[in-house]
Amino acid sequence: MSRRKNRTIYTLLFVVCVVGFWVFENFYTPATYSNSETGNLSDIVDTDFLPSSTAGTLVKHNYFILSYSEAHEQAEWVAYELKREHLTQDNRKRPYFIEDPKVKTKSADWRNYKGSGYDRGHLCPAGDRRFSEQAYNETFYTSNISPQDREFNAGVWNRLEQQIRKWCKKYGDLIIITGGVLENGLDEIGEEDVDVPELFYKIVFRMDEEKVLSFLIPNDPSFEGLDTFLTSIDELEKMTGINFFENQSNAWQQQVEQEVDATGWEF
């Protein structure tokens, strides 16, 4: 076979590989991760402690629930329970990030994050869901991610996630509510204009004594202690427009939401 024919074959093979890779990157979508039939909402998280939905789009998966904001192409909050039996170290293979099939308006494609300089930051952490393959994989729906500064994601945000696991091990079952502060005028990335929150919040509710801690952290690198980011639920509600414990009595909300009380929490 002549050198010219060899070059032609190699060139064609190279073109086929490039085209195949492009098609795979842009059009391949793996199978969905959740079961088609999700259990009762009360099986996912105690409904007495769920927030309101300003977006009006509640999405239930098998191991977390979220309120999706189409205007911002991400969840305004994700809520889930963290139990001691969830705290495993099972090795899991990272799946693909895929669009959430339960978001009727389509959740943002993961490709919006490519080249943006931002991480695909988990809201419900994959590390909290190692106890089963399905639970772990569900956290890779794009409805459960938000653009995060890389050093923030790997730094202070990760430190808070690890601290919450320690609290769960020490105090027992927790309810976690988390998300970015979504507002007008935020920077956007990708073709779908995914908003980049300037602040992220996380609310930790202890079921044993009905104690609450809430954190508000800038989407920037930080080496500050976690307790420096404590804030009140009332302050978070003013910033987000979300009523975080709307199913509780007014008296309960006034008692729990006005103050920052870290008594009984070991940092």
How many angstroms separate the CA atoms of 252 and 244, rounded? 12
E strand or H helix at 167: helix 156-171
CA dihedral 244, 250, 253, 258 (to 10 degrees): 110
65 near 41, Cβ under 8 Å?
yes
Q: Rounded to an integer, what distance in angstroms lies between the CA atom of residue 161 and that of residue 29?
A: 29
Residue 122 catalytic? Answer: yes
- In terms of Cα–Cα distance, which of 136, 96, 104 is closest to 120? 96
According to DSSP, residue 240 is labeled: H
Q: Residue 90 carries which side chain, given as an amino acid letter?
A: D
CA gyration radius, the chain: 21
Q: How far is CA 55 from the centre of its chain?
A: 16
Which tokens is 67 given? 């309120």
CB 179 within 8 A of CB 216: no
Catalytic annotation, pick one of 61, 72, 86, 122: 122
Considering only CA atoms, which of 70, 76, 84 is closest in space to residue 50? 76
Q: Which residues carry out catalysis?
A: 122
